[in-house]
Structure 1
């Protein structure tokens, strides 16, 4: 297996216990209080080398419409305001099955060609997401960002799934 297209992942919290509940409340119930707390938790562990732009993980349009919002875009927007870093966008080009029920290999295959980023992008871009599990989504989006002109891509997420669960 080749190395991922991103360099560093910053995700201080483990996706377990109360963190699962908080992210679920934000992601599926649209709770602004939960979202605001997640932003504060992310800001408590800002990456040492933040990119020149934030790139939220995009969601296929039908899924975003059904959910009511894209949680990664909302987080990126709030972080952008607080850190004075612009947000750049990407497009999800495939209607993907949920990643939750897939293993690492299936997730990687599922994500191939899933994103399109229109450049030019700054040299260093930071992907914003809520949870990193296997890194498949981050890898696919980072590859799209590199293809669009970025030279260095990192990931910044609220939480990561413990290694024994992915």
Structure 2
């Protein structure tokens, strides 16, 4: 690692390791929060989301073109932030560095913009055994458990039965085909289930998992994520 990269990484670690200080700028944090009032306002809020998948849309539009043409299996998506800096760095530190403070901050930010209707259960996105061993934890399940304790809503689980290639380099249609039949839920589900995840990119994962949830007895499935990939980035 270069000296510049090392210094940047140390700066990120210091920001996330100091309780009582804003995780984004190191100013004193607001009482009981991990951020200051100024940084909270300046975060990349998702102000014009598609009602169904949360992709940013034009003012006045309620649905994006994708949801109009090919409606997903889930009903709505709540993603209060856009996957841009500094949220992008926060998600990276949580997902790939297993930073507990980064995860806590994401959960707290999610609680600022919760779904309109409380669900009967939260459903985490399962990982393949290979990915779970490599990463050491499931960020979706971690968030679901944290939100479950805050809201008093139980967490239900699914199994990933298809070891698909990574989604990172795939386009929207490839992602959907890659995840077809990937998830199974063995226990009956309550009527309203909310899938919890860190980032929604195209909604393909949510669509595949929502199909499995509906097959398991749910009548409505929504998504609740920390952030949504901006328009044109998925």
TM-score range, shorter chain: over 0.9
Larger Rg: 2
SS at match of 2:168: helix
Deviation at 1:95, TM superposition (A): 1.2
Residues matched between the structures, number: 166
- Show the counterpart of 2:75: 7
Written as runs of structure 1 = structure 2, the 5 A alignment for 1:11-160 is: 11-160=79-228
Higher strand share: 1
Q: Which runs of 4+ in 1 moved over 6 A?
A: none
Structure ranking higher on relative contact order (CA contacts 8 Å, 6+ apart):
1
State TM-score, norm by structure 1. 0.98
Deviation at 1:67, TM superposition (A): 0.1
Deviation at 1:2, TM superposition (A): 3.3
| Alpha-carbon distance in structure 2 between the residues aligned to 1:95 and 1:19 | 28
State TM-score, norm by structure 2. 0.70
SS at match of 1:51: coil
SS at match of 1:125: strand
Deviation at 1:50, TM superposition (A): 2.2
Q: What is the CA RMSD across the aligned residues, in angstroms?
A: 0.8
Deviation at 1:51, TM superposition (A): 1.2
Query: Where do 5+ consecutive residues of structure 2 fail to align?
Result: 1-68
